[in-house]
Structure 1
Amino acid sequence: MRTTDVVTNATRNAFRSKLRTTLTVLSLFVGAFTLTLTTALGAGVNDYVSRQVATVSTGDALLVTPAASADSSEGPTRFDPDGRQQSTQPNPLGSGTLLNADDLETMQGIDGIERVEPVRQVVIDWVAPADGTEEDRYELDINPSSSLGRSDLIAGEQLDDGKGAAQIVLQDEYVDALGFGDAESAIGETVELGYTDAAHVARSIEAEVVGIARTSLFASGAGVDASLTDVVSEAQAIPGQPEAYVLAVAHLDGPGGGAVTEEDIRQVKAQLADADLTGQTVEDQLGVIQTVINGIIGVLSAFSVIALLAASFGIVNTLLMSVQERTREIGLMKAMGMSNGRVFSLFSLEAVVIGFLGSAIGALAAIGLGSLISSALAAGPLADLPGLSILLFDPVNVLAVILVIMLVAFVSGVLPARRAARQDPIDSLRYE
């Protein structure tokens, strides 16, 4: 029997018992459907995170905060008037300890650090058009780490601290609210920012709109340049209180002014650690998020594997019953000269055909339903995260799922196929 005949007969024999085969295919369908969705979820979220990192990170800057205390001594810590202050508010960007002037001086003296920009937390009460009234004011949040990287711009340019003029990058949701026709027409316009100083006196400052940015998961709030931040922070600073910063941005410089390499970053991190400081890139911080996401997806994928394991027993049962029902047929094929290897291949291919059907149908169903779910989420709950496809069906991943399930089916069919191949033709022909 030629190879093509073996494949044709295996495909035909897989449907001899339509009900039994259908039930086995459905069990594989569940595993393939779930596994395809979980891999698509992981691909979608990780793709979005990677694109956001490329958007907000310049690749040559570190977020520097005081190192976490590892003091295990008993009793409270003694007060040091010249030491670091403790933050009175929760700070998601750093630890509960604040940087001081000595820390900034230490950072500036580290090889590989070109300049250090302390991040000051400023509070802006409202934003309005330059000639607007009180009714035109809208609340505004400021991204304290604007100088770390780039905004995901729709129009305009990035902030340029070198100009020395107050600049702002607004989120796209403010374009219509502030009366601009579109993102392009907002560039170059002036807006007024209102804030309250340390004496609880209302003040305002004007800033030029240099860019309009999309809403980002990792860089929320408007971006402002250093000159604007300095003015507001000085006005909001409490007299007599020493300077303290939630974190600092250390801009790196490669050897000879060249590109910053991973080795350069590692060396700077080591020097910061020696100074009781911690340096992290945006990639480091988002890596924690990706680890959590991958862990959740791994748990979901485990349920898919359990479903596939249960389905594999179904394949074994289906083929064992098929071998028993076709005992005389096996004896006749062997009596006519079919080798043990051909018999083994015939039944193994039946398992592979069943695995292909279950995996292909499950994958196609997952793609169809998942695409609808992804579109609905993008237009609804995830509308504020443009560019996020929560389910990303990569053809390579889908093909990998199908091949893995076909391999599982083949392995499951080995036992019944071996039993069929090792049957004695004389005994098989006598089987009733």
Structure 2
Amino acid sequence: MKTSDLITTAISQTFRSKVRTTLTILAIFVGAFTLVLTNGLGTGINRYIDDTVSSIGATDVMTVTQPSGAGVAAGGGPIEYNPDAIAAGPTAAPGSTVVALDQTDLDALAAIDGVLRVEPTIAVNADYVQFEDGTPYVTGVGRLVAGQTIQLAAGSEPDDSASAPEVTLPLSLVEPLGFESAESAIGQTVTFGITDAERQPHTVEATVTGVAEQAFAGPTTTVTPNQALTDALVELQNIGVPAAEQERFAQASVWFDPNATTEEIDALKDRLEAEGYTGTTVADQLGTFTAIIDGIVLVLNAFAIIALLAASFGIVNTLYMSVQERTREIGLMKAMGMGSGRVFSLFSLEAVFLGFLGSAIGATVAILVGTALSSALADTLLADLPGLTLLAFDPISIATVILIVMGIAFLAGTLPAARAASADPVESLRYE
């Protein structure tokens, strides 16, 4: 019997008992459906994180600080005062401090092997942002580093080469400031209020060039200025601050080779640590999120695998019944010269076809349900996370799931297939 004839026969014999076959396919369907959905969940969330990584930090930049020690001394007692300690920054835990970096530290960082460039992170603390005579709102002032991008709802990023102050507003401030829409804010002038060290108020006007979508795990009211606006705000907030204090920084950005491997990045962290500094990459910042997501997906996948293993017993039962019902047919095929290997292949193909049908139907339904569910959630519960597709389906992942299910089906079919292959043709022909 040719291979094509084997495949045709296996497919036709699969539906010899329609009810039994349908129930087996439904059991496989449940496992494949669950497996595709859970993988889609992991793909969707991780893809969203990857897409928004650029709004948190560039992948070839490391944030470097000089730790001041633990927040409390051993045993919970007080710690010794360090006059060089300053607040760790807005993204750190409340009360966290680090040793201030100065020009000497920046030079030391630049000299470390693997460091391509070093820039201090200058903190800008604006009091508020206001449009015309409307209500002023508290805002944070962020800053982009090379390689970072902004997910824009409208307009464009501020131009660092422009001499006039420009800013990108977050979407959450558009309506409160008095704009009808993100598009209507473009080209308008907003006013920033800032207080210097002598407690004197100042204002700076800037042109809105863009409106940013909400970034993953990012502040909702942080604006992004261009260099001209940053310089203006820094100059005003430093009025009355001694020159020596102006050269103290909570952290610095360190650039390294964008093609660096994980091992090379870890080695750079070790060299920084040996010099008394701590380096943190974007991957480190997002590690907790991805670990939790991957853990949840792994648990859900485990339930899907259990369902598939349960379905495999259905395959074994279906094929054993088929072998028993076709005992005389098997004896006739062997008496006519079909080898044991061909008989084994015939029943193995039936098992694989059962796995293919169940997994293909399960994957198709999962995609349809997942796409509809993602669309509904995007307009309701997840409306505050634009760009998030909760369930995203990767063709390679779906194909892998189908192949895994077919593999499980093949393994489940080996026992009844082996029984059919080992059947004695004489005894089989006598079977009633």
Does the TM-score normalized on the shorter chain lie above 0.5?
yes
Q: Is the 8 A contact 2:143 2:225 kept in 1?
A: no
Counterpart secondary structure, 2:191: strand
What's the counterpart of residue 123 of structure 2? 120
Aligned length, in residue pairs = 417
Distance 1:245 1:21, change over 3 A: farther
Q: Is the 8 A contact 1:334 1:425 kept in 2?
A: yes
CA–CA distance in structure 2, aligned partners of residues 355 and 26 of structure 1: 10
Comparing 61-70 with 371-380, greater Cα deviation is found at 61-70
Q: Which one of the candidate residues 205, 223, 227 is aligned to 2:231?
A: 227
Comparing 226-235 with 280-289, greater Cα deviation is found at 226-235
In the TM superposition, residue 223 of structure 1 has moved relative to its aligned partner by 1.6
Identity %: 42
CA–CA distance in structure 2, aligned partners of residues 267 and 322 of structure 1: 61
CA–CA distance in structure 2, aligned partners of residues 55 and 75 of structure 1: 38
CA–CA distance in structure 1, aligned partners of residues 107 and 188 of structure 2: 36
Q: What amino acid is aligned across from residue 303 of structure 1 in structure 2?
A: F
Q: Is the 8 A contact 1:97 1:246 kept in 2?
A: no
What's the counterpart of residue 192 of structure 1? 191
Q: Is the 8 A contact 2:67 2:98 kept in 1?
A: no
Gaps of 5+ in 2: none
What's the counterpart of residue 213 of structure 1? 212
Q: 1:151-300, aligned counterparts within 5 Å?
A: 151-153=150-152, 154-158=154-158, 160=160, 166-175=165-174, 178=177, 186-194=185-193, 204-220=203-219, 221-225=222-226, 226-230=230-234, 233-234=237-238, 247-252=250-255, 261-262=259-260, 268-300=268-300
Q: 1:53-92, aligned counterparts within 5 Å?
A: 53-67=53-67, 69=69, 76=77, 78-85=79-86, 92=91
Q: Is the 8 A contact 1:52 1:218 kept in 2?
A: no
CA–CA distance in structure 1, aligned partners of residues 90 and 120 of structure 2: 18
In the TM superposition, residue 109 of structure 1 has moved relative to its aligned partner by 2.7
What's the counterpart of residue 328 of structure 1? 328
Q: Is the 8 A contact 2:193 2:204 kept in 1?
A: yes
In the TM superposition, residue 3 of structure 1 has moved relative to its aligned partner by 2.3
Q: What amino acid is aligned across from residue 208 of structure 2 in structure 1?
A: V
CA–CA distance in structure 1, aligned partners of residues 63 and 159 of structure 2: 18
Distance 1:181 1:386, change over 3 A: same
CA–CA distance in structure 2, aligned partners of residues 354 and 25 of structure 1: 6
What's the counterpart of residue 140 of structure 2? 142
In the TM superposition, residue 167 of structure 1 has moved relative to its aligned partner by 3.7
In the TM superposition, residue 384 of structure 1 has moved relative to its aligned partner by 2.5
Counterpart secondary structure, 1:413: helix
In the TM superposition, residue 203 of structure 1 has moved relative to its aligned partner by 5.5
In the TM superposition, residue 61 of structure 1 has moved relative to its aligned partner by 2.8
Q: Is the 8 A contact 1:67 1:278 kept in 2?
A: yes
Comparing 197-206 with 101-110, greater Cα deviation is found at 197-206
Q: Is the 8 A contact 1:108 1:116 kept in 2?
A: no
CA–CA distance in structure 2, aligned partners of residues 261 and 4 of structure 1: 49
Counterpart secondary structure, 1:109: helix
In the TM superposition, residue 245 of structure 1 has moved relative to its aligned partner by 7.8
CA–CA distance in structure 2, aligned partners of residues 211 and 427 of structure 1: 83
Distance 1:421 1:175, change over 3 A: same
What's the counterpart of residue 98 of structure 2? 99
Q: What amino acid is aligned across from residue 330 of structure 1 in structure 2?
A: I
In the TM superposition, residue 316 of structure 1 has moved relative to its aligned partner by 0.9
CA–CA distance in structure 2, aligned partners of residues 328 and 417 of structure 1: 15
Deviations 1:35-72 (A, max 9, x none): 11111112112222112124553444321234485799
CA–CA distance in structure 1, aligned partners of residues 336 and 310 of structure 2: 37
Comparing 416-425 with 296-305, greater Cα deviation is found at 296-305
In the TM superposition, residue 12 of structure 1 has moved relative to its aligned partner by 1.8
CA–CA distance in structure 1, aligned partners of residues 190 and 36 of structure 2: 48
What's the counterpart of residue 431 of structure 2? 431
Counterpart secondary structure, 2:251: strand
Q: Is the 8 A contact 1:106 1:275 kept in 2?
A: no
Q: What amino acid is aligned across from residue 423 of structure 2 in structure 1?
A: Q
Deviations 1:107-128 (A, max 9, x none): 3432236343234262534x32
CA–CA distance in structure 1, aligned partners of residues 116 and 341 of structure 2: 68
Q: Once superposed, which parts of structure 1, at least 4 consecutive aligned residues long, lie more than 6 Å away?
A: 196-202, 242-246
Q: What amino acid is aligned across from residue 224 of structure 2 in structure 1?
A: G
In the TM superposition, residue 339 of structure 1 has moved relative to its aligned partner by 1.5
Q: Is the 8 A contact 1:119 1:144 kept in 2?
A: no
In the TM superposition, residue 424 of structure 1 has moved relative to its aligned partner by 0.6
Q: Is the 8 A contact 2:84 2:100 kept in 1?
A: no
Distance 1:296 1:427, change over 3 A: same
Q: Is the 8 A contact 2:169 2:224 kept in 1?
A: yes
Gaps of 5+ in 1: none
CA–CA distance in structure 2, aligned partners of residues 366 and 118 of structure 1: 47
CA–CA distance in structure 2, aligned partners of residues 165 and 109 of structure 1: 34
